[in-house]
Chains A and B, each alone.
Chain A
């Protein structure tokens, strides 16, 4: 089974290993991510700019390409790409006026025919977490995982509709399927402030600190994310947090495909852990997840 796949810029460059992990895992799980031809950046700006139309031309073109290449689905790994593509498609389906404005401008014929799926959603709805559970080779036993959703994977709930925006469970169910122990922590759907990192580093640091502290207070060994940007931000802010708060102890933040790959017994060396600022390997060794 092949699924058309949109990697997005981050996972194609800086976070290539995370993308690789996703692709490798898919093969293990019996499907293939088939990279879309001639894809471009999604723009990553849907929620940020005031222009209601021009920002949608990029993602609409991607969706139209997907359709023209004979597909009715498009899978993403990155939460931001997912958010942008899904919401653009929502407009294409439900707002005739805006749709025609955009498609007239890019001279394409598109009416929202493509279903945008997040990789997690694909696992849940197309593959099934029960199937995933059966395919796990090395269950993440004893690993207490804080599942951090961030803001873009779930909101706005009426347009995304992946799960409840306040009390989602998909990520926890995923970890359970991997044999790990998801912990409940109240900050799981708060924003990590990554978007503010350039404009106001303090905000990004404060948001990250609250999320990480909350996860640790609730007993997490590590935090996983669905978004490469969240992963980077939560990871990279920790030295800064430590400066202002000497009592702060660091916690590894990993991407969900990295954990998935470990559970499916892919080599830890290929998963880009060297790029994690807070090295998760000692913890993973201690917990027996890797040798």
Chain B
């Protein structure tokens, strides 16, 4: 474990450091460049690409800026339309990506620069500071247990608390902690050092500095995924994040999750009371060309229906209201899923936008219109869940510039031809997959992940053929 890997293709004088190595991956530099692929983004899409390519005998470097792989899917509770547990579906694959002899995980890393040409790219990466020497760390978790500094948890979408030294989730791959410098008592106030004292292998390094390294690869798959629209700052009509018990869909996933901060109980963040009346508002920031995003975020209709059903499974006498504009259930079995939600789970769908919401004592008052009856309606709710628009991940545009990929106005990556080359970019050897190209669900993302692996293989085999012919 944790063997130091030397990378080829470095410029003279560059520091040769590579700390975030996981598993036994001594082969990366032993194969020719036309057998190496970089996957940027380690969500379900990237993992699918990486495992496919790894199984095909390619050496894959999978890069993610977070400390562990799994992406957004790991935050989900269950998935539509089968209501399978998301973690249970995904963790075998995260574990596989971590154990795969042909997949090299580079977490806490960001892309700095791209050089070279198709078939022989050189990517310069920045290894972010983790304050933990992962070569020494065994992932025992003692530091996390001992850390006295508690704060809101990123992975739990602010719904839970975590320590200043943390892993994103208990099943993190790699299972190595990092320190949040903004909350660490030692790093902010110079006093504490509890984790360093607790660490049995002396892996804590408060003086660690960021480092850079280069990787030479034949092809690159970009799967940088999505983020949630900043509704807290941009949508005062829905409380702007200041009305308690108004949360977004991804946060609600954490409430639903058996391993989430409430162990799956649907209680109000403000007072811990069981939620009896719940309002879901769809298209929050989506389909709103004037003020927010013009596009549809594609998956919200389905995950909201799923939220509603999972909520009903937990709170049998609870009442669910869903504000929608159009119900978009286009995938396999999706329409039937919605039908069942309406007919069997007694979920009330209201066609119309919610105009605003405000706090009134214990309750949140949601004002909206029912466009089918032409009436204004008002609902007093215990909790409001916003299906906020999905946007490209932060920094996507900068990455696109670096890689020479076109972006549209919303920051989504634009493919070569929407119909027949949905994976290819203007750059040969650089491919797109998943939500960075346009919002899509897990099934479509995974399919694109495999499609990208095909494109990379076809491209690299043509590179090899050309080389052979040249010889």
User: Do A's and B's CB atoms come within 8 Å in the complex?
Assistant: no
Task: Give the interface of A toward B (CB within 8 A).
Answer: none
